[in-house]
Amino acid sequence: MSNAPDGGPSAAAALTHLRPDGSLTMVDVGGKATTERYAHARALVRLPPPAAQALREATLRKGDALAAAQIAGILAAKNTAGLIPLAHPLPLAAVDVAFSWSQACVLQIDARARTAAQTGVEMEAMVAAGVAALTIYDMTKSLGKDITIEAVRLLEKRGGKSGRWHAADFVAD
């Protein structure tokens, strides 16, 4: 391992997906134990009042946006390895995408993923939440272009060497 001028590890040595010659590699997880893995991610979609109302009342011209976003999120989770470079394909046991309103015009999208594997499902949950949010945007954009997708973030993960983690401002389920 090479060292930086300050005596610590060099940037290249600290990066898990970077070879010494600068090329990229997928991390080898073959030696890791297969354990139960779980992740919960959330995205927020802030909508103008007419779009929020149409979404709540299921009166969008494009159809049932929540059903479309739910399917899009699940499909996205299943295809994460094809979307995120160097991500491992995982045998997903379950993916769930659910919706609630955190404010009158803020749709909360919660995505949960579960597997038994050698690496975690954080990316799958985050991709599911993000793609579901993008689908909501696509299906409501005719009612206002000032829709924003906010705070796509990991809230909780379980399993693997690092065990359980949750965001400091999140009460785990």
Spatial CA neighbour of 79 closest among 34, 33, 138, 130:
130
Supply φ then ψ for residue 50, to 5 degrees: -65, -35
Active-site residue identified among 6, 138, 146, 173 = 138
Are 109 and 43 spatial neighbours (Cβ–Cβ below 8 Å)? yes
Catalytic-residue membership of 173: no
Are 13 and 4 spatial neighbours (Cβ–Cβ below 8 Å)? no
Side chain identity, residue 73: G
Q: Side-chain half-sphere of 84: how many Cα atoms within 13 Å?
A: 22
Are 113 and 128 spatial neighbours (Cβ–Cβ below 8 Å)? yes
Spatial separation of the C-alpha atoms in residues 156 and 97, rounded to whole Å: 15
**Residue spans of alpha helices (H) in the chain:** 11-14, 49-57, 65-78, 80-83, 122-140
- Could you give the residue numbers annotated as active site? 138
